[in-house]
Amino acid sequence: MARRFAREDYRVAVSGRSLDKLQTVVADIEANGGKANAIVADSGIEADVLAAIAQVNELGTLRAAIFNVGNSVSKPALELSAELFEQTWRASTLGGFLFAREATRTLLANGGGSLLFTGATASLRGKPPYTAFAAGKAGLRSVSQSFAREFGPQNVHVAHVVIDGSIDGERVKSRAPDYLAKLGEDGALRLEDIADAYWYLHTQPAAPGPRSWTCGHSRNSSDTGGGYGSPSDSTRTCIRIRGA
């Protein structure tokens, strides 16, 4: 996603806990003529989030904020410690709230913009052995819906994107190459298609009326509705990107 936005002449700030990984992304963007900065931060630590948004504000005018934290914890419920459950919740739900709160303050001051959240199949339903992961992602989805209804009328475009399938990225390639091969050429979601969907969400026009919304699509996707939030309970705030 950072590379996709950089191609549109956006200066992007990539944030995470590993400076080495961040610098790899920054170097790739810069090698292709883009502008990028690395910001080390832990999404579950409030001071880190505050400092990260402050650094972003020093770089320019924030127009799009994307919360893309993932920690797919797999542990049977009876073996799941309170500490691990809390860590997972902090990364997804608490981290998403902290990020959204601080980013929204900046977006409102700038006259509006996009606030996008990355969800997963677990955002919609829980199953073993992903109890902690599902709880964190479901909480994040509720955070996004609440922000959409509160700040959509103030020109903050909020969307929660459900990535409903395996991603053809380095993590799956390194951890489960046989599974990826079994899915076939069109069985996994391409990173480029997901990034295109996020760019579409950021640039889509506001739909007229409190009960209207427009939807995002990418290859291998079917939407469940998404768009500008409104006070109406009928407003949908998520799209689903689904694998084959």
Token pair 């959240």 in the structure block, residue: 117
Q: What is the DSSP letter of 92?
A: I
Q: Which residues of 97-109 are buried (b: 16+ CB within 10 A; e: fewer)?
A: bbbbebbbebbee
pLDDT higher than 90, residue 171: no
Token pair, residue 159, equals 């969307």
Q: Per-residue pLDDT averaged across 66-79, rounded?
A: 92
In the chain, the amino acid numbered 137 is K
Q: Per-residue pLDDT averaged across 197-218, rounded?
A: 64
Q: At what angle do helices 95-109 and 46-59 cross, to 10 degrees?
A: 30
pTM of the model: 0.84
DSSP 187-213: TSB-HHHHHHHHHHHHHPPPPSSTT--
Token pair, residue 201, equals 């969400």
Mean pLDDT across the chain: 85
- Domain boundaries along the sequence of the chain: 61-205+235-243
Q: Per-residue pLDDT averaged across 99-120, rounded?
A: 97
- Separation CA 13–CA 61 (nearest Å): 12
The fold of 61-205+235-243 is Rossmann fold (3.40.50)
- What are the φ/ψ torsions at residue 65 (nearest 5 degrees)? -125, 125
Provide the pLDDT for residue 214.
Answer: 41
User: Which residues face 66 on adjacent strands?
Assistant: 116
> Computed from CA positions of residues 160, 165, 168, 174, in that sequence, does the dihedral angle turn out positive or negative?
positive
Asked if residues 132 and 89 have their Cβ atoms less than 8 Å apart, the reply is yes
Token pair, residue 118, equals 């990355």
User: Which residues face 235 on adjacent strands?
Assistant: none
- Separation CA 158–CA 149 (nearest Å): 9
Greater confidence (232 vs 40) lies with: 40
